[in-house]
Amino acid sequence: MVIYMEEDIKYTMLYDIYGKLLTDKQQAIFEEYYLYNLSLREIAENKKISYQAVRDSIKNSKEMLDKYESVVGMNRLQENIEKIKDMCMKNEIDRNKILKLLEDKK
């Protein structure tokens, strides 16, 4: 259960960053599934499409979000900035650690 929640959070965060790069249809299905917590069947009924089409759309959307993140890395950058901010707030400033976080490619 925890793994699914972590995955849901991951994709919700990626959607916040890259969601507008998905098609309108993918956005609508993704939002109903992740933001409004509707089941695949409920979405299929609402959209008058097959269960399989909903499942495929969500799968493809997740793959696209992962691809965007692997190329652009905006979520990773935001996470590293938060780490640096925490280090500064705790007065644990280590120049080498900060530089490593800023240069982190993966």
How many C-beta atoms surround the C-beta of residue 103 within 10 A?
8
Output the pTM of the full model: 0.76
Confidence of residue 52 (pLDDT cuts 50, 70, 90): very high
Domain boundaries, given as residue ranges, for the chain:
1-72, 73-106
Q: What angle do CA 79, 2, 21 make, to 5 degrees?
A: 50
Residue 34 has a pLDDT of 95
pLDDT at 62 over 70: yes
Fold observed for domain 1-72: Arc Repressor Mutant, subunit A (1.10.10)
pLDDT at 1 over 60: no
